[in-house]
Each structure stands twice: as C-alpha cells, then as structure tokens.
Amino acid sequence: MQQRLIDAKRIVDDILNAPKYYFKELKPSVLPDQLAAVYAITDTSTGEVLYVGRTKNVRRRLYTNHLMGPKTNARLKKYLVEDPNQPQITDMLVAKEYLKANCYAQYVPEEDMVKRGQIEGLLSYMLNVRYIHEEH
C-alpha cells in the first residue's frame, strides 16, 4: 500500500511537471506518434483541469480528435458546447477557438492499458477534473 501511495504521488508530480503543449501552437509534428499516454487538458487562465483522458496514440487524440475533430470524437469540445456555464461557446468551431486561446495539454506515457485506466481515474480525482465521461 505504501508503494502505491508513493507511485500515485510520482504520477501526479510527473503530469504537473510535464511539458505543456498549447493548443494555439499545436501541430502534429510536436507530439510523438503512436505513444500511449494519459493526458490532462488545462485552462490557462484559471489553472483548472478541464479533462483527463487516455489514449493509445497521444498525437492522434490531442491534435486530430480534440482540436480538429467533430463532435463524435472531440469529447471536450462537446462538453464545452453543452456546458451551461459556458454560454459563449455555442458550437464546435467556437469550442475549437476556445481550446486554442485558453488551453494546453500535458501527458505521461504509459504503455499498459490497465495502468492507463488506473492513472486516468487517479488524475481525474487528484486534479479535480471538470468534465468526466458519463458511465455506460
């Protein structure tokens, strides 16, 4: 149990100290391809973590899905559009511009699928994420 607590603290420290990838400057070439990771997307003005996710390919997920993707695979933009506390975000294009103007992503690599799920849950709790997937 003690080792798990040490590991949890290290994981939180790792993501908080990871490089920041600002959506306004995001290009596919700045992200590694085919890297499995857990990532957090943060609002620069408030420091609030908006979203934590996991992926088998961090480049595809952050750039192709979150930034450029449609409502079906750009979950954070969908949440922003549907958030009654964000009335200025009226559609997916406005949500994209919001990400570009206000957000950055950080990630920690993790190849093991089970550990990615555990880390996603841990970071969602520890970073007090605003948007969480609905349960199925």
DSSP 39-95: EEEEETTT--EEEEEEES-HHIIIIIIIIT--TTT-HHHHHHHH-TT-TT--SHHHH
pLDDT tens, residue by residue, 47-101 = 999 999 999 999 999 999 999 998 888 999 999 999 999 999 999 999 999 999 9
pLDDT tens, residue by residue, 9-43 = 999 999 999 999 999 999 999 999 999 999 999 99
Q: pLDDT-derived band of residue 4, with 50, 70 and 90 as boundaries?
A: confident
Q: pLDDT-derived band of residue 1, with 50, 70 and 90 as boundaries?
A: confident
Structure tokens at 36: 């499995």
Residues in the chain: 136
